[in-house]
Amino acid sequence: MLRMELKAQRSLSRDAGAQVSKLVFSYFRWLGWLDRGSPVRERINHAWDLAERFAAQPESFTDAELLARAVPDWLATVMEPSADWVRALQGEPRLWLRAHRGQGRVVAENLGDCHIRGAGLLADTLEYVGRSDLFRTGAFHEGAFELQDVNSQAVGFICNPRPGEKWWDACAGEGGKTLHLADLMENQGLLWASDRTPWRLTKLKRRAARARVFNYRATPWDGGPRLPTKTQFDGVLVDAPCSGIGTWQRNPHARWTITAQDVKELSEVQTRLLVNAAVGVKPGGRLVYAACTLARSETAGVVAAFEERCPQFTREPVCDPLTSGAAPCDLLYLWPQETGGNGMCVAVWRRTAG
């Protein structure tokens, strides 16, 4: 929304636009410190001062102060916010790219200002620390990379689809994870991508064309029991709509618009989507639940509700693919303070009975 608004202001230079974005984000990041009765200009200046002070002297803010002001009071009723997490929320988010399979080094050299996240799978995960508008680069238009959060990339690695398999990305949205799954499948096999919002699928198709992804079918699905196909899949990913608490560093305004009631309602939607999508998993196939939230009811609560209704699925241990040697766990939480990406939760099951 902000990006569209800035684009419409044709007289604004790119640097001025970037400055406006920074001011808007710091306003919402530091809203809990601002005097709502003071003129808006004063509040913006105050927020900016706080952001600068935090960048220079983070220890000048106490844990207690951050926990009390950086997040809404109701949050403590849905999760246990830690001081480390709240500190991460107050910093600037990092910008992550996913290069086309095997192209990490080439893309990093082409763009400059990139750090490669690691070896193996992570050789195509790049952190961009430069200031160029990546949407205007030739490499972007050639489909050499996508902007994708590092923890979203982790979800694709956990799905780990093999070339030739059949996968369904049930809540595909604009296709961030669909494109990653297609890349991991080396464009072989079949990928269904569905969403209930048609304009998102239109964007997905545009992105797939740019990334030269062709082994997919995009189709609407409203999340109900009538599935878009009778195909039985090797794997189904439900990257469910959620409260987005995990994205509060990147989207600070969402801290002040989401409510505890939304969290409750969303956990019911997530369970319904998971139960319905599970019907598409073939015997022996895998079901992956991902959500960029850290609220109990949307994470462990959904997992428990699903298992009660679908005992034919057995939970599989998940390892954090971003941390070498990470111990397997039943339900994986990825935290911004640990990975530098959006907070995320992932669970995996296998259909062990008909």
Q: State the catalytic residues.
A: 292
Kindly state the smallest distance separating residue 92's Cβ from ligand SAM, in Å.
22
Q: Which stretch binds ligand SAM (CB under 6 A): 84-92, 139-147, 190-198, 256-264?
A: 190-198
Give the number of residues in contact with ligand SAM, rule: CB under 6 A. 19
Q: Is 174 in the site for ligand SAM (CB under 6 A)?
A: yes
Binding-site string for ligand SAM from residue 273 to residue 292, where x marks contact by CB under 6 A and - marks none: x-------------------
Contacts of ligand SAM in 66-85 (CB under 6 A): none
Query: Tokens at residue 350, please?
Result: 């296998």
Q: Contact between 200 and ligand SAM (CB under 6 A)?
A: yes
- Cα(118)–Cα(126) distance, rounded to whole angstroms? 9
Query: Which one of residues 124, 234, 239, 298 is an interface residue with ligand SAM (CB under 6 A)?
Result: 239
Q: Does 321 bind ligand SAM (CB under 6 A)?
A: no
Closer to ligand SAM at the Cβ: 161 or 176? 176
Binding test (CB under 6 A) with ligand SAM, winner from 93, 104, 189, 223: 223
- Give which of 14, 72, 10 is closest to 261, Cα–Cα: 72
Q: Decide if residue 96 touches ligand SAM (CB under 6 A).
A: no
**Contact pick of 93, 161, 176, 336 for ligand SAM (by CB under 6 A):** 176
Among 222, 265, 308, 330, binds ligand SAM (CB under 6 A): 222
Query: Which residue number, 223 or 285, has a Cβ lying nearer to ligand SAM?
Result: 223
Q: Which of 103, 152, 215, 247 binds ligand SAM (CB under 6 A)?
A: 152
Segment contacting ligand SAM by CB under 6 A, of 8-16, 73-81, 160-168, 195-203: 195-203
Per-residue three-class SS string for the chain: CHHHHHHHCCCCCHHHHHHHHHHHHHHHHCHHHCCCCCCHHHHHHHHHHHHHHHHHCHHHCCHHHHHHHCCCHHHHHCCCCCHHHHHHHCCCCCEEEEECCCCHHHHHHHHCCEEECCCHHHHHEEEECCCCCHHHCHHHHCCCEEECCHHHHHHHHHHCCCCCCEEEECCCCCCHHHHHHHHHCCCCCEEEEEECCHHHHHHHHHHHHHCCCCCEEEEECCCCCCCCCCCCEEEEEEECCCCCHHHCCCCHHHHHCCCHHHHHHHHHHHHHHHHHHHCCEEEEEEEEEEECCCCCCCCHHHHHHHHHHCCCEEEECECCCCCCCCCCECCEEECHHHHCCCCEEEEEEEECCC
Query: Quick one: 144 or 238, whose CB is closer to ligand SAM?
Result: 238
Query: What are the tokens at 292?
Result: 């960029």
Least separation in angstroms between CB 53 and ligand SAM: 34
Tell whether residue 250 is a contact of ligand SAM (CB under 6 A).
no
Contact status: 339 vs ligand SAM (CB under 6 A): no
- Integer CA distances (angstroms), 151 to 177, 297, 340, in order: 11, 20, 8
Using CB under 6 A as the binding rule, whether residue 172 contacts ligand SAM is answered as: yes
Site string for ligand SAM, 35-64 (x = CB under 6 A): ------------------------------
Q: Which two tokens stand for residue 263?
A: 């969290």
Closest separation between CB of residue 269 and ligand SAM, Å? 6
Residues of this chain that interact with ligand SAM (CB under 6 A) are 152, 171-177, 195-197, 200, 221-223, 239, 241, 269, 273
